[in-house]
Amino acid sequence: MTDRRLTDLMPPLAFGFAVLAIWELGVRLLHVPAIILPPPSAIAARFATSIPTLAADFWQTIKGALIGYAIGCAAGVAVAVLVDRSGFLKRGLLPLGNFASALPIVGIAPIMVMWFGFDWPSKAAVVVVMTFFPMLVNTVAGLGSAGAMERDLMKTYGADYWQTLLALRLPSALPFIFNALKINTTLAMIGAIVAEDFGTPIVGMGFRISAEVGHLGIDMVWATILVAALTGSLFYALVAGVERQATFWHASYRAKEAT
């Protein structure tokens, strides 16, 4: 198992190193100016020397992203459970929810900055709106995914609505909920970073990127992007890890264990 995992890891790692090497060599051999594309070594050096700034930016942005993510996802699940009781509301809200997920919701950032000020609450508000709709749509789909047979079984047990919900329908909705949780990790980071373009206290990853682009500190921009990329991937990996623990029974994991 571990051997197999190692051999699976080798090609992507080699590919990553190859890209970095070509980047470094290409920039050095072709004398590309650092304003256009700094070599990876320069970005790493810049990263190492500006850890305090990067950490402060990280906390500022992650605060808004995480709090917004928690509120948005919780609200999405809650509204889905409420809406699920009424077929009428479900038919009315679902098309709108699907519609909303195609909209450029980041655009509400300037409005949220006006309402909640420059600091992280306005970023959290943008993230709440962005993460709400995917969660709503997925949870409603998930609540409907329990099979007729299982529902009948619950009925023969004399289970009431809430017992069925807790014991059967929410667990069977978990794969859908986790799907939305995973999609929302990226949306939360995007929302929090873009919202900083519309005004921030002078800290935060989105602020850092636009400020450093302004005076051509491109190595610092790349260092911030590295932080954003690491944060985004870790956030996603964390949710995926919890999903693996919580939905170990799901077919997509069972199949992997079997082979």
Partner 1 sequence: MKSALPVAVVLLAIIAVWYVAAALMNAPLQRDAYANAGRVDYSARELIVDSLNMERPKLPGPHQVVAELYRSVALTAPSSKRSLLYHGLITLEETLIGFAIGAALGIGLAILIVSMRWLERSAMPWIVASQTVPIIALAPMIVVILNQFDITGVAPKAVIAAYLSFFPITVGMVKGFRSPDPLQLDLMRTYSATRLQTFLKLRAPASAPFFFASMKIGAAAAVVGAIVAELTKSEDGGLGARLLEGSYYGQTVQIWAALFVGAALSAALVGLIGRIARATEQRMGLVP
Residues from 4 through 43 that contact partner 1 (CB under 8 A): 8, 11-12, 14-16, 35-37
Helix, strand, coil percentages in the chain from 3-state DSSP, rounded to 5: 85, 0, 15
Residues from 133 through 172 that contact partner 1 (CB under 8 A): none
**What is the DSSP annotation of 22-79?**
HHHHHHHHTT--TTT---HHHHHHHHHHTHHHHHHHHHHHHHHHHHHHHHHHHHHHHH
Residue 115 contacts residue 122 (beta carbons within 8 Å): yes
Sign of torsion over alpha carbons 108, 79, 63, 227: negative
Binding segment toward partner 1, per CB under 8 A, in 23-31, 52-60, 83-91, 246-254? 83-91
Say whether residue 236 binds partner 1 (CB under 8 A): yes
Among 34, 66, 74, 89, binds partner 1 (CB under 8 A): 89
Closest approach of partner 1 to the CB of residue 254, in Å: 19
Q: Return the number of the residue (107 or 147) whose C-beta is nearest partner 1.
A: 107
Say whether residue 205 binds partner 1 (CB under 8 A): yes
Separation in Å, CA 81 to CA 16, 165, 173, 196, 203:
43, 9, 11, 33, 38
Binding segment toward partner 1, per CB under 8 A, in 20-28, 66-74, 91-99, 168-176? 91-99
- Using CA atoms, how far apart are residues 78 and 143, in angstroms rounded to an integer? 12
Mark residues 174-203: x for contact with partner 1 by CB under 8 A, - for none.
Answer: -----------xx--xx--xx--xxx----
- Tokens linked to 62: 């992650």
Tallying the residues shown for the chain, one arrives at: 259
Among 34, 71, 111, 141, binds partner 1 (CB under 8 A): 111
Among 85, 91, 155, 254, binds partner 1 (CB under 8 A): 91
Binding segment toward partner 1, per CB under 8 A, in 101-109, 120-128, 136-144, 168-176? 101-109
- Using CA atoms, how far apart are residues 42 and 232, in angstroms rounded to an integer? 22
- Site residues (vs partner 1, CB under 8 A): 8, 11-12, 14-16, 35-37, 88-96, 99, 101-104, 106-111, 113-115, 185-186, 189-190, 193-194, 197-199, 205-206, 209-210, 213, 216, 218, 221-222, 224-225, 228-229, 232-233, 235-237
